[in-house]
């Protein structure tokens, strides 16, 4: 399967909402005022974060009766898939990272302990068996996450 390069973008939404009679903020009356889309690497620069705060302060200064707030959402530019912590795309990337980590741990264990185990077989070592079991669990989790991502793409008609 060919790996897709994820192009992470940030959608920054500045919304306004009214104050209630008791001084609390009513988010049900919120309206979108401005929306900015930036690459994630560009958003992380301090100047762009300051720019967003200045825009927010300008809106607040121009209309003091309203309250303004900023919301952020991360997405992939090519597929428009959500990249929050609970999204299918992040689950796949986390599962691949865990699988790579455990396979390298087992590879390291195999190279370090193979010459020292003169009487024992490597397949009988308890730590090696537990590592193989964890590796198998990580492979199953990756398979499930990829299936969930496939369903998400089909739902969004990307395939």
Determine the number of helices (DSSP H) and then strands (DSSP E) in the chain: 4, 3
Q: 27 near 17, Cβ under 8 Å?
A: yes
**55-106 pLDDT tens trace:** 999 998 998 888 888 888 877 776 666 666 567 777 888 888 888 998 998 8
Cα–Cα dist 99/105, whole Å: 10
pTM for the model = 0.51
Q: 91 near 41, Cβ under 8 Å?
A: no
Phi, psi dihedral angles at 33 (to 5 degrees): -100, -45
Q: What's the Cα-to-Cα distance from 27 to each of 24, 60, 68, rounded to whole Å?
A: 9, 16, 10
Q: What is the reported pLDDT for 118?
A: 56
Structure tokens at 47: 């100047």
């Amino acid at each position: 399967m060919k790996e897709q390069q994820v192009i992470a973008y940030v959608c920054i939404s500045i919304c306004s909402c009214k104050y209630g009679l008791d001084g609390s903020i009513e988010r049900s009356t919120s309206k979108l005022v401005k929306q900015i889309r930036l690459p994630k690497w560009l958003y992380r620069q301090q100047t762009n974060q300051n720019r967003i705060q200045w825009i927010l302060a300008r809106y607040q200064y121009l209309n003091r009766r309203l309250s303004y707030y900023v919301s952020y959402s991360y997405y992939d530019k090519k597929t428009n898939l959500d990249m929050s912590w609970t999204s299918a795309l992040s689950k796949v990337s986390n599962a691949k990272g865990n699988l790579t980590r455990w396979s390298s741990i087992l590879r390291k264990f195999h190279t370090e302990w193979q010459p020292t185990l003169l009487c024992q077989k490597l397949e009988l070592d308890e730590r090696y068996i537990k590592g193989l079991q964890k590796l198998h669990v990580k492979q199953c989790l990756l398979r499930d996450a990829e299936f969930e991502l496939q369903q998400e793409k089909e739902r969004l008609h990307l395939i």
